[in-house]
Every structure is written in structure tokens, then in C-alpha cells.
Amino acid sequence: MERTGPFRGRTIAVVDDLSRDEQRYLYGLARQIKDTIRSGRDPSRFRISDRDYQVYLIFLENSTRTRESFRNAAEFHGCRVNMFDAATSSFAKNESLSDAVKMLVGYAPESCFVLRTGLEGVCRWLDASVGAYCESAGFPKPAFLNAGDGKHEHPTQEFLDEFTFLEHLGGDDSRIHLALVGDLWHGRTVHSKAEGLGIFREVSVDLVAPELLSMPPVYVERMRAAGFEVRAYESLDEYLASGRVAPIWYYTRLQLERMGERVLDRAAELRRAVTFRPDMMSRLPEGSRFYHPLPRDRKAPVIPTFLDGLPLNGWDAQSANGYYVRIALLGLASGALGGDFQGAPKEPLRFEEDFVTEAAVTPRVKPEHKVGIKPVENGIVIDHVAAGRPVREIWDTLDKIRRILGLDVRSSHGVYHSNAGPEVFKGILSLPDILAFDRRDLKKLGAIAPGCTLNLIKDSRVLRKYRLAMPPRIYNFDQISCKNEACVSRPAHQEGAPAQFRRTGERKFTCLYCDREHEFGEIWDL
């Protein structure tokens, strides 16, 4: 089969790496594959059928369903299937993941890597680093599929969950009402619902978890921002008494071991709050179905085993759907499938780099910028540094500008009143004899002190004035780092991934690998 489809070489690190149209297309394709296989018809038209196409499974953390469904899906396709053995590989000799993957790329004409690791954002890093290597070495760029990265995302699980919900609703995507039950604090599969449920036009979500295990506010906000109706309950008893119970329940395993000593004496009470009991059966809506990404805790399952043989059991079929959805994903990533996709593709991230604007200069006769011992006659004055921020932050910002831009020169700086009000302050840094700032330094200055102005002074007059806005991206600094310890970019992980952030709010920056959001000041290490 020709492999020229539009998804060829696509990396799926997060659910949002597929547009809504692409997600719907995936579900339609998985539906066709499942129907064909289940009805015993010939599924050949869905196969990659290329022994030279390599699917490499790299599972550095435990897995049963994800690893085995991907392995079986790759076998279905008739491609070369490899399992990476971390225990006996050069990982034990401290080799980086990106070095190992670059080497594996050379063993086949084209590859797809499926990765489960504790390192968050690893697929994005490999897509960039191995992608650059492949371009220079003449290999087609591999696809990287995230099979679960720490607490970050598990997008292929989300796709199979949504496929299962659609199946339950007979393909009707007009409305869904579901309950998310269990450990909503730790469960990455329930966090992904904020994105994945967006394929339905109307969404009502009931969150059922004791306060200690409740959904982190960032995901609740995302759900509300997406137009979902969201209601919260602290226990199943409270929920069942509400009178408006969802017919679809999605459970997650309790991960109390992650919470340490502070919950040990409350563990039984937390479990009780979300564990289903026989007396609750009569309060469920007719035709209700329970789902669970599994594994289920064999000692204390929140879905007890007495439910296994009842029509309520949707979790076994859900887990089997992983096979069909992953057949579809591998077929798309190889380029063998997807040729008839006609919807809106995912737009790549674009950064508006033009954050330096030239401002008008007001002519004045008297010398300007009388900062320091004497006015600057020729040089540069950086004004409005951290204007309006607390005085301590203004001093810190002045210090950062000097240290990051290497301004160890004759100069002066200070914190002064701003014209904006009696209690409003700003920093000013005057640099006599420095007559030019190149674009790279301007970018750096904008990143350190957004909102400042840079004045070029000649013969005691402002010749040019530039305003520097908050840049859309901050990268290329030794002095920045993501504060998520599990992020692939943390130096401790020795992957060589440089810290990079994109602006996602007025003073908010999000890590380009692991999606951790930071306040502007938090990204700096100075």
C-alpha cells in the first residue's frame, strides 16, 4: 500500500495534537476497522503491509493494555515490530533516550515509536531532536506516539475512551452526560476529558470525588471554558441523591500511595466515598454503563467484581477497543491510511515574533534621562523596567538585565517614581557609551523586562525609542527552566532538551514539552 496519507510522520504527544475533525475521522476509521474485523470480512485494505515499516515499542514504565494492544495492532499491520528492552539496553550505561532513538531510526527505512515513560513531554522533545537528526541524515521523520508520560497525558487512551462513548451513544455526537468518579486529582485520563469530550456538541460532566481527590481547578476551568456544564459531588451517596444521575460513569483507580502519610488514616473513608455498593443499583438510570481505563485494584476495586457479569460492565469492551483505535492510529501515522481525510487539519503553533515596536520621540530641549551622577549624553537608557510591579521585583529585574545581558560596564540604575501614580514605581538603567543593541539582545531584554522602553541617546537627545512587549516565546536562555521535576527538559534528566516556553496569558508561560503553566517570574533561575 502507498504511504502518502496526510498523517504520515505525525507525532501525537497530547490529545490536542489532532484537530477535532481529525479526532472524528480517527473514530470513523476505527469504527470501520472494528466492524470489518468483527464481521469476519477481509481487513486487508486497512493494513500497512510493509515489512520495512518499523513500529518500536519503548515502555520504560509498566503497562499491560497499552503495550499489548499496540503490539497486536502493529502485528495486524504486518510491519516490523520491535520491543525495546530497557533492562538490558545501554540505558543501564546512562545513555539518553534521544541518542537511543536516533540509533534505532537507522535500523529501518521508516519508523513509528510508541513511548511510555515517566518523563513528561518526551514525545515533543524527540519529535524536535530526532526530527532534526533525520532531516540531516536523510531519513523520513518518524512518528512518536505518547503511550503515557508521567502525570502529563495518555492521548491514545483518551481516543479509545471517546470512541467507546460514541459507540455507546450509537455514533450520536450531539450530547453526552457522564460522571467522572474516583481519584480525579491524579488520574491523567480524567484530566484529558477536558479536551477529548470536545467532540460532543453539548457536554455535562458530574465530578464525584472527595475533596482530597477532587479534579484540579485548572481542568475544571478548561471544561467550563469549553462550554461544558460541570457539577461536583463529594461521594457516590451525595451524587445518587442529587436526582440527576448520568447514564455513563467513568471510574479511575485511587492512587493514594502518591499522597503519602497524610491520607493513610483516611484511606478507607476516601475509598468508601467512591466505591459502588449493591444497594446503589436501583438508583442508576436504565441502561447505565460503567467504564474504567483499568487496571483495577484487585484488593479494593472501586468497581467491585460482583458487577463484572452485568450489562453495566462497559470496561472490558472499552479495553478491547484499544486494539482497533491503535490499529487506526498506526495506519494514520505510517501514511497508509487517511488519504480520504477532508476536514480541517491541526494548525501548527505559530509565534508572532514582532514584539519590538518603534515609538514616537517627543522633541525636548533639555537633556533627558538624568539618571545617575550625570545625564547620559550618548548611550542607551532602558526605562519603565518592571513598571508598576513591587519594588523588590523591580530591583530583581534590573539585576537580571545586567547579569543576562552581561552589562558589566560603567553605568547606573535605580528604582524611581513612575508618572502613572504616586505609589507606582519603575526601574531605569542608563548605559553611557553603549550605542547599539542587536536584535538578539532586544529579544532577550523583552523577555526579561517586558513593557520596558529602550532609548538611544545622541547629543543628550532621544534619537530612537523602542517599546518591548511580552514576547510570545521565551527560549535560548541558560537562566530559564521548567519547574516540573518530571519534565524532560530538567537538566537532571540529561536529555539535552533546552527549556522553552510559550506565552499563554498576560504573564503566564507554558512549557513547550510538558505543558506546565508558570508565572512569568517563575521561569527564571536567577
Q: Which residues form the interface with ligand CP (CB under 6 A)?
A: 63-66, 148, 154, 157, 293-295
Residue 116 or 168 with smaller CB distance to ligand CP:
116
Give 3-state DSSP helix, strand, coil % of the chain, rounded to 5. 35, 20, 45
| Residue positions counted in the chain | 526
Residue 182 or 427 with smaller CB distance to ligand CP:
182
Residue 120 or 368 with smaller CB distance to ligand CP:
120
Smallest distance, ligand CP to C-beta of residue 98, A: 24
Residue 157 or 235 with smaller CB distance to ligand CP:
157
- Nearest partner of 3 among 111, 148, 150, judged by Cα: 111
Residue 153 or 383 with smaller CB distance to ligand CP:
153
Smallest distance, ligand CP to C-beta of residue 384, A: 51
State the Cα–Cα distance between residues 327 and 331, nearest whole angstrom. 6
Smallest distance, ligand CP to C-beta of residue 339, A: 30
Residue 253 or 271 with smaller CB distance to ligand CP:
253
Smallest distance, ligand CP to C-beta of residue 120, A: 16
Grid coordinates given for 380: 542607551
Smallest distance, ligand CP to C-beta of residue 228, A: 23
State the Cα–Cα distance between residues 207 and 158, nearest whole angstrom. 17
State the Cα–Cα distance between residues 81 and 196, nearest whole angstrom. 29
Please state at what angle helix 65-76 crosses helix 155-168, rounded to 10 degrees.
Answer: 80
State the Cα–Cα distance between residues 295 and 88, nearest whole angstrom. 26
Smallest distance, ligand CP to C-beta of residue 148, A: 6
Q: Are 270 and 212 in contact (CB under 8 A)?
A: yes
Smallest distance, ligand CP to C-beta of residue 38, A: 22
Residue 149 or 515 with smaller CB distance to ligand CP:
149
Residue 129 or 156 with smaller CB distance to ligand CP:
156
Strand partners, 55: 81, 112
Smallest distance, ligand CP to C-beta of residue 97, A: 19
Smallest distance, ligand CP to C-beta of residue 62, A: 6
DSSP 8-state assignment for residue 521: G
State the Cα–Cα distance between residues 380 and 147, nearest whole angstrom. 52
Smallest distance, ligand CP to C-beta of residue 298, A: 13
Strand partners, 182: 252
Smallest distance, ligand CP to C-beta of residue 476, A: 36
State the Cα–Cα distance between residues 269 and 219, nearest whole angstrom. 25
One DSSP character per residue, 133-153 reads HHHHHTPPPPEEEEEEETTTB
State the Cα–Cα distance between residues 213 and 366, nearest whole angstrom. 64
Give the contacts of 272 (CB within 8 A, at least 6 positions apart).
235
- Nearest partner of 30 among 367, 400, 331, judged by Cα: 331
473-475: strand order across its sheet = 473-475, 500-505, 508-511, 517-519
One DSSP character per residue, 10-68 reads --BSSGGGS-HHHHHHHHHHHHHHHHHHHTT---GGG----TTEEEEEEESS--SHHHH
Residue 157 or 192 with smaller CB distance to ligand CP:
157
Residue 196 or 293 with smaller CB distance to ligand CP:
293
For the chain, the first-to-last Cα distance in angstroms comes to: 55
Residue 142 or 187 with smaller CB distance to ligand CP:
187
Q: Tell the burial category of 419 from Cβ atoms under 10 Å away from its Cβ (0-12, 13-18, 19+).
A: exposed
Smallest distance, ligand CP to C-beta of residue 285, A: 26
Q: Which helix H or strand E contains 122, and what residues bound it?
A: helix 122-137
Residue 8 or 326 with smaller CB distance to ligand CP:
326
What SS3 class is residue 84? coil
Residue 254 or 512 with smaller CB distance to ligand CP:
254
One DSSP character per residue, 170-212 reads TT--S-EEEEEEE-TTT-HHHHTHHHHGGGSSSEEEEEE--GG
Residue 301 or 471 with smaller CB distance to ligand CP:
301
Smallest distance, ligand CP to C-beta of residue 327, A: 16
Smallest distance, ligand CP to C-beta of residue 490, A: 24
